[in-house]
A and B are shown apart, each in its own frame.
Chain A
Amino acid sequence: AQTVTQSQPEMSVQEAETVTLSCTYDTSESNYYLFWYKQPPSRQMILVIRQEAYKQQNATENRFSVNFQKAAKSFSLKISDSQLGDTAMYFCAYAKYSSASKIIFGSGTRLSIRP
C-alpha cells in the first residue's frame, strides 16, 4: 500500500527566510503524481504544486519549488522568501497515475512564519 510520511509536525521560521518541508513516500508504482497542498487557518485547502513522477525536472511555482528524488522516494517543498501569508498546514500527497480518484495524504506540517 502507498504511504506518505511527513516527519515534521511543526516548523517556524522568520519572515523572508527560506524553509524546506520534508516528505517521503512509499510506492511500487513507476508513474504517479505528487502534490503539496496548503491549508491556511480557517480557509480551504489549495493545491500549491504538482509533480509528475516521470518528469525529471523539479516543479516550481513562483516562490515554491520541490526537490523530487525518485530513487530516494523523497519530495520536499522549498518556500523561498517566506511571507506571513505562507502560515498554514502543508500536506504532502500522492496519487497513482492511473487512479481515478484517491489521493493519499501525509499527516501535515504546521508552518508558522514569524514577523
Chain B
Amino acid sequence: EAGVTQFPSHSVIEKGQTVTLRCDPISGHDNLYWYRRVMGKEIKFLLHFVKESKQDESGMPNNRFLAERTGGTYSTLKVQPAELEDSGVYFCASSQETGANNEQFFGPGTRLTVL
C-alpha cells in the first residue's frame, strides 16, 4: 500500500512568489492534515480536512495560505505571496478515521526555502 506522498520534495523560491505544495493521502483516508516545522522549532498543526471540508483551520498563520481538497482526494497548500518566515518543512498526514486515537500517517515533507 502506498504511503502519503508529497510533491515537490524541495522548493526554492524568491520572496513574493507563489508556491503550491501537493499532498496525496493514503487511499481511503478521509482525514488529511497539514503541519509545518520552521527551522529547529516544533512541528505545528495548520489544518485538518475531512473529505473536502475544512474541519479545523485554526493553525493557518494568515490569509497568504490557502488549502484546498477538491473531491476529497489530494490536497494543495498554496502560499501567495511567500515571505521569508514561510521557510520550513511542510508535512502532510492522513488517517482513516477522525479522532486522536487514530494513527496519522505522515508524508516525507516538502522543504520550502524562501529567499
A residues adjacent to B (C-beta < 8 A): 4, 32-33, 37, 42-47, 50, 52, 91, 95-108
Contacts and interface: CB of A to CB of B under 8 A. Distances in A.
B71 interface: no
Interface of B: 3-4, 31, 33, 35, 40-45, 48, 50, 55-56, 58-59, 91, 98-101, 103-104, 106-109
Nearest to A93: B43
A102 B4 contact: no
Nearest to B95: A101
Nearest to B107: A44
Contacts of B3: 44
Contacts, number: 66
4 smallest beta-carbon distances between A and B, as pairs:
A101-B48, A95-B100, A105-B43, A45-B106
17 contacts: A33-B101, A42-B108, A44-B107, A44-B109, A45-B106, A47-B104, A100-B48, A101-B98, A102-B56, A102-B59, A103-B35, A103-B100, A103-B104, A104-B42, A105-B35, A105-B43, A108-B42
B40 A101 contact: no
Given A43-B108, A44-B108, A101 B45 contact: yes
A44 B4 contact: yes
B108 to A, nearest CB: 5
A33 B98 CA distance: 14
- In terms of DSSP, what is the predominant structure of the interface of chain B? loop
Contacts of A91: 42-43
A54 to B, nearest CB: 12
Given A102-B59, A105-B44, A107-B42, A44 B106 contact: yes
**B45, B55, B103: residue with the most chain A Cβ atoms closer than 10 Å:** B45
**B40, B59, B99: residue with the most chain A Cβ atoms closer than 10 Å:** B99
Contact of B103 (A32, A44, A47, A99): A47
Contacts of B31: 101
Given A44-B3, A44-B107, A101-B31, A33 B44 contact: no
